Amino acid sequence: MAFIGLLPKDYEPQRFEEEILSWWEANKIREKVNQLRANGPKFYFLDGPPYVTNPIHVGTAWNKILKDAYLRFYRMKGYHVRDQPGFDMHGLPIEVMVEKKLGTSTKRDIEEVIGVERFVNECKSYALENLKIATNQFKSLGVWMDWDNPYMTITNDYIEAVWWMIKKADEKGLLMRGVRVVHWCPRCETVLAGYEVTDEYRLVKHPSIYVKFPLKNKDKEFIIIWTTTPWTLPANVAVMVHPDYEYARVKVGNEVYILAMERVPFLVSKLNVDYEILEVFKGRDLEGLKYEPPLKEEVPLQSELTNAHYVVLSDKYVRLTEGTGCVHSAPGHGEEDFEVGLEYGLPTPCPVDENGRFTEQAGKYAGLKVFEANPIIVEDLRRKGLLLFEEEAEHRYPHCWRCKTPLILRLADQWFIKVTDIKQRMMEENERVTWVPEWAGKSRFGNWIRDAKDWVISRQRYWGIPLPIWICELCGKYVVIGSLKELIERAVEKPKGDIDLHRPWVDQVKLRCSCGGIMRRVKDVVDVWMDSGAASWASLSYPKRAEDFQAWWPADLVLEGHDQTRGWFYTLMVCGVVAFDQAPYKRVLMHGFSLDQYGRAMHKSLGNVVYPEEVISKLGRDALRWYELKCTTWDDLKFTWKELEEAFRALNIIWNTYYFASLYMNLDKFNPKAISLKDLLDKLKPEDRWILSRLNKLIAKATTDFENLKVFEVAKDLMDFLVNDVSRWYIKLIRRRTWVEEDTVSKTIAYAVLSDVLFKSLIMMAPIAPFMAEKIYQDMFKCLEDMPESIHMMLWPEPDISLVDEKLEAEMGAVKELIETALSIRQKAGIKLRYPLTRVIVVSDDKLLKDAAEKLKHLILDQLNVKELDYLPLSEELKLKNVIIKPNYAVLGPKFKDKTPKVVELLTKLDMQEALSKLSTEGKIQLNLDGEVIELDRDCVKLEEMPLEGLAWESFSRGRVYLDTKLDEKLIAEGLARDIVRRIQEMRKEADLKVDAFIEACIVVPNEKALEHLEQHKSYISQETRAKVLNITLSRELSKGMKLVKEWDIGEELFIIGINYDVS
């Protein structure tokens, strides 16, 4: 007959987890689970592809652990889960790493020394090598995904899917080529999109200068501008002012300055000069006012510009929070400047090349890197008398997100997706998406869409999806290719050998234009964020193959960090609307960042990165999983070893709980499948009904929380349930029932309830701590009849709401608090629980507590080891305590002044019981002070309470508990005898004795007192343990040679017990 198996006594996560990993792999358990669910409703999880550049840390682990928990849950709910992982394998992250490996840092080296083909192949090799490393790390965490078939953004099929979308954008009129001011990395020599810039601002120090722009044909009169980018002054073409702000002509010495009226006090305080306001007017009155460019002599280009060097208006981009209200405008180096420049038809000089160096157009500054030119330009302004004031400003400045180089703004010819044309549709689609938390989508993401700008998709790099645009050398016409098939059909020249749509293979493909000319591909690659943005269909090999797309799309869930509201969530939405006019996902879960305990991001440079391998070697995988899953998903996770160790300790408690159950059920050969819990419901004790109520309420809540993407609630509630409700409470309540040797109905019910609770909890544990759940299942439950191969093949439990009893739960909560209070009294009084006490007295007017104490009296007596329970109303508490009324001098002194001593003397002579009664009923007492009746209210006195001798007390939320602490030898002896009986019964179980089997027993005691106590209860011990012979002795000799001998620590004293069996 099958029965509950026995767990190993000790929790050894490192050994168990390695065994389980190997077993899952060898037996293809994930694949078998997915086959079981193949006919279930579909659940399309779309994995956000990580970059394959660095080993994962605990933050990356959190991301994948979250995903794994939800995938495991939905499998257990019967869903057919698509669990394909993805990897982002193109882009600057990999290029930068390969450049370091090859010892280069410039595009010229790549093209002329290394060669594009070798560089691209090195990037591909690096990406594939790191994909294997990341895969093994994720698999080690117990993340169940289809690791043998990940989607990789470097395959031809994937590239075709992105090309198809770009062609779709062109067909919809959303693809355009244009000159725009863009963020540019001078080290990587490529453009960056706006969303790539937002998360890489760093504090830097730059010169902060106030410059005098001389007015044309006005002697010693200047417009005052402020800038922190002196290097943009060689490209100045205008000054912007706000049409509605007030501006002033301000006389300082023999010069006149024009600036915003509100900024005058600030500037003159910096200059520490006297001034006079000559005139005040609106900014619009300055429109068209001409000035001389301050670097006209140094930069000849300035003299060649037309329609330049005058005041223009902007009510959008001029502010009074800093500067002078007069904004230096260089349309070739500023997005806002460029926009205003278009309105006025201003020229757009940009004398800076791809390396961030000034071109010949910059005159004196040609060849200098822009930031190197700053001090030279400042010195030139000083020499010319045009530098009004200089200081250093610390501010946040954008840097390249991969190489960390400061970015510049420069004019460049690029390819764009006109996001501004579809942003309304994106906002409509976003309203159909369920965001968790809601504010992430409706506020943060919604605002990002509302402010969205056109997306520059071209990149001047090498390792990426080639932009599928061919341009005619003769007529300039362009064509967008949407597939490999179309490319082959239209090609008039292509390289031989295997087809690889990367550079340089694709660069060699030539097409024929309708005009007869040759069309060559533009050299750009696609923004790497478009790679992942197309993942919702590209991972399904659409449009090349339509079956999977029709079966799965759109995604049911995407889950990433909060930075992706401006990254992947955003590009997914853009690409989905471009391609299908629809959001590519139904639900989005946003999680926080993983930080160190001080709230700092984890970086190698700070030395605060924690790798999963370090955690695994110390505490195991499940400790990391449960710890991270308990954290509120959308808050930042501040990683601390202390909290991680607390999670490990909780896992130890949980393991010990299952071990306890397995030990006793295994000894008793208990088979939960042979018993129907439903048939026993009318025989359940209150504690059994309570734990079943708690269990089924937990199942209901955990199901809802998982479905609402709140796994952190499940992780916290399940741990609390197993540690506090089951281990620290229910098992304490039923322990004596399990010690009984014979198969009583009470013990059977306790086993049936406990096994039901533990098994259903184990299923709920499986998505959170899959290793522990599997190990316990394999050793404890798998041996029962008709059990599946793995715990992960089980279906999620359904709650039985009929078993939920809110009133009983409230009553048990009240009794639990009562018991904990009384145990605290025992501890403070130094009376161990093994010693029985005569009575506990509860003083309260709480009806729920009174009903609970009556219903659960047996638990109170048992858990407190007391003989009697008394219950008194508050009005009768005086029977149990002495109350002394003492003067409150802080009130009496000011009130009675020199009469205070006499008042105090009268107080000491009062009949305390009568005075207390008066205070209680009337709120005051009266005294006769030299013929004068005076009244003392409650504030005038202090009540000092003390329990009667032999009693100890403590208050709790519903009243007060009194414990009779008087011990006598009889009670001490009784407690020791009960402890001995329990130990012998455990030894009988260990020896696998039948209930009616007789034994011989020997008890070696530590001292005469213990000998005397046990001799008083020798017949009781013999009867309870079926001992035909019982020796109680001080000598160890009698125990030697017995079949089973064990040492027991009872009350910090050593007892040796030996038994012989097979006694007739």
List the CATH number of the domain containing 840: 3.30.720.200
pLDDT at 908 over 90: no
Same domain, 795 and 903: no
Same domain, 795 and 664: yes
Q: Which two tokens stand for residue 442?
A: 């409706």
Same domain, 811 and 948: yes
Query: Please, which pLDDT band fits residue 405 given cuts at 50, 70 and 90?
Result: confident
Same domain, 765 and 844: no
Mean pLDDT of 817-834: 93
Same domain, 829 and 960: yes
In a domain, 614, yes or no: no
In sequence order, the 6+-apart residues with CB closer than 8 A to the CB of 728 are: 653
Lookup result for tokens 């858990």: 863
Same domain, 742 and 891: no
Which residue stretches of 141-199 are H helix? Answer: 156-171, 194-197
Return the HEC string of 537-553: HHCCCCCCCCHHHHHHC
Same domain, 787 and 891: no
pTM: 0.85
In a domain, 9, yes or no: no
pLDDT at 993 over 90: no
Beta bridge partners of 46: 558
Q: Which of 759, 786, 803 delimits the end of a domain?
A: 803
List the CATH number of the domain containing 695: 1.10.730.10
In a domain, 947, yes or no: yes
- Percentage of the chain modeled with pLDDT above 70: 99
In a domain, 374, yes or no: yes
Q: Please tell me whether residue 844 adopts helix, strand or coil conformation.
A: coil
Give me the pLDDT at residue 743, please.
80
Phi-psi category of 288—alpha, beta or left, where left has phi over 0 and alpha has psi -120 to 50?
left
In a domain, 439, yes or no: no
CA distance 379 to 294: 12
Print the domain residue range for 252. 204-398
- Percentage of the chain modeled with pLDDT above 90: 76
Q: DSSP character for 800? A: -
Same domain, 281 and 373: yes
Average pLDDT of every residue of the chain: 93
pLDDT at 716 over 90: yes
Give me the pLDDT at residue 642, please.
94
Q: Which of 507, 523, 539 delimits the end of a domain?
A: 523
Same domain, 919 and 1034: no
- CA–centroid distance for 363 within its chain: 54
604 annotated as ligand-binding:
yes
Per-residue pLDDT tens digits for 330-345 = 999 998 999 999 999 9
In a domain, 998, yes or no: yes
CA distance 854 to 862: 14
List the CATH number of the domain containing 992: 3.30.1330
Query: Please, which pLDDT band fits residue 199 given cuts at 50, 70 and 90?
Result: low
In a domain, 1000, yes or no: yes
pLDDT at 259 over 80: yes
Give me the pLDDT at residue 194, please.
65
Q: How many domains does the chain have?
A: 5
Same domain, 748 and 873: no
Cβ-contact 424, 450 below 8 angstroms: no
- CA–centroid distance for 255 within its chain: 60
CA distance 905 to 925: 15
* Nearest residue to 296 (alpha-carbon basis) of 209, 388, 363, 212: 363
Same domain, 769 and 812: no
Helices (H) and strands (E) in the chain, counts: 37, 41
Same domain, 867 and 784: no
Per-residue pLDDT tens digits for 748-784 = 999 999 999 999 999 999 999 999 999 999 999 999 9
Per-residue pLDDT tens digits for 26-67 = 999 999 999 999 999 999 999 999 988 878 899 999 999 999
Decide which of 851 and 883 is more confident. 851
Q: Which of 909, 939, 966 delimits the end of a domain?
A: 966
In a domain, 883, yes or no: yes
CA distance 527 to 901: 90
Which one-letter amino acid corresponds to residue 1025?
T
List the CATH number of the domain containing 241: 3.90.740.10
Q: Which two tokens stand for residue 23?
A: 């077993």
CA distance 365 to 373: 7
Dihedral sign from CA coordinates of 824, 825, 830, 832: negative
pLDDT at 17 over 90: yes
Q: Which two tokens stand for residue 695?
A: 């269990």
Peptide bond into 437 cis (omega under 30): yes
Decide which of 74 and 938 is more confident. 74
Give me the pLDDT at residue 530, please.
96
CA distance 932 to 921: 23
Cβ-contact 1023, 1006 below 8 angstroms: no
CA distance 763 to 759: 7
